[in-house]
Structure 1
């Protein structure tokens, strides 16, 4: 069990603890390195549950939902998104505190969507009644999916950070990034300056994450880039399914430009700052770990590694 100097860590939900029990009972004969890799993949997939279900709904309604149905596709996606979010709470896959930050993601994303569609940065298929301006309300849930992933991965991997920059500095940069998403339509675009500022501030910061029995680390900037890349992949799936389109795709679908990775990298900066107000960055584990609970000792005695 991973603990910090105070012996505390984000509490795992019952379903998340089952992931470690699965590894303890069914992957014990797998080489340790392979087991850690498999558990890493399983936990990452579990953390992506909200986003994966949203993408599945977008693809399914694109392929099979009939044109001219009484309930517009956009409205159906809103209803599905609400049901997904309700299910996450009912089945305790997210905590109430995490739900608050997910709502904040929803509001921040919807505000940007309303502005960006008004200036023609991208557009959504018309129709339905559950929208604000040209923005269907399901779009806010796509930003909420990013928030859901970040707060869940924080718990699943017990994230810790060394050389984390002062939060007030990160908050100032995040605010500047958000303002620039709007202001660059009239003022000089300073996104590359903001990327440079992010790189400088996080250059020394390392993320420590516990997979199953091992704690690994990677540069936070690399984590930003990797998540931005997977969001870019999801964005390509969403546009291919016709959920929204960029002006360059109006004449026929094509890959979202790789330059969008810069925008998603900057969005990661905003997202991480929001999450730090739910889970303040903690240093890596030092000293002697806290005593292992008897239940975990018993489970380990049955042949598995100790549960996180």
Structure 2
């Protein structure tokens, strides 16, 4: 009975954290089935994303600081989309007024929704990272992963080298989360993998509803290959690094202003959101 209660509570908090991506999926599904002669489908999805974003801010479900993080991810994702579509990795075949170089602007919100989930889950579960590597290690690793998404079209694909490096860098790192007064812990690398897996599941749902289209999905929808999990695994790491470092910086500044430098949180220890 205790396990069931914890599972239901965990699922409820996760569902609340997933409101932004869930509403995007709902919009994809509805817009695929309903004819809208007065507006292009991609433009309608963008409009809904903007309304949802401001609605979350207005209702207090998302803070101003979290909105800043989400917008950073929007820009990072949009830049990646522009490059990948140009390289033919995937496409957005439908017409839209809000397409730039073949990329609809709503695509950035799909990356932003991942950031929204991370921020929401971080706050709701009171996440705490232990033995977080030094900030320069995280920055260099995140930059290498992001650049590999671009350079692998011309140079060697270092994804498996980077994946192995991740398990080395985060070997001692783990995350704790709180649920109904009980603290649980999980290896950081495992949390990356689990989030990447569920994003892959979400990607299959998104492509089924026509959010975007891979080359082998032009005639009929097919499952996205499991090898894509590795890509999402790496992208999640970039996301967590950015969110964690921004929260670490904010907490350090807060501690400095309230308690003085002698009580600063060490990069080698722990920090909260």
Q: Same fold (TM over 0.5)?
A: yes
CA–CA separation in structure 2 for the residues paired with 1:255 and 1:175: 30
Q: CA deviation at 1:167?
A: 2.1
Q: Check if 1:70 corresponds to 2:38.
A: yes
Residue 179 of structure 2 corresponds to 211
Secondary structure of 1:89's aligned partner: helix
Of 120, 123, 131, which residue of structure 2 is paired with 1:155? 123
* 5+ residue gaps, structure 1: 1-30, 286-308
Residue 32 of structure 1 corresponds to 2
Residue 300 of structure 1 corresponds to none
Q: CA deviation at 1:126?
A: 2.7
Q: How does 1:111-260 map to 2 (within 5 A)?
A: 111-260=79-228
4+ residue runs of structure 1 moved beyond 4 angstroms? none
Give the number of the structure whose alpha-carbon radius of gyration is greater: 1
CA–CA separation in structure 2 for the residues paired with 1:263 and 1:83: 29
Normalising to structure 1: TM-score of the pair?
0.79
Residue 47 of structure 1 corresponds to 17
Secondary structure of 1:218's aligned partner: strand
Alignment: residue pair count: 253
CA–CA separation in structure 2 for the residues paired with 1:269 and 1:167: 14
Q: CA deviation at 1:164?
A: 1.7
Q: Deviations over 1:15-41 (max 9, x none)?
A: xxxxxxxxxxxxxxxx43322211111
Secondary structure of 2:146's aligned partner: helix
Q: CA deviation at 1:70?
A: 2.2
Normalising to structure 2: TM-score of the pair?
0.89
Q: Which has the higher helix share?
A: 2
User: Contact between 1:228 and 1:264, CA under 8 Å: does it hold in 2?
Assistant: yes
CA–CA separation in structure 2 for the residues paired with 1:37 and 1:279: 27
Root-mean-square deviation (CA, aligned residues, Å) is: 1.4
Residue 27 of structure 2 corresponds to 57
CA–CA separation in structure 2 for the residues paired with 1:270 and 1:99: 18
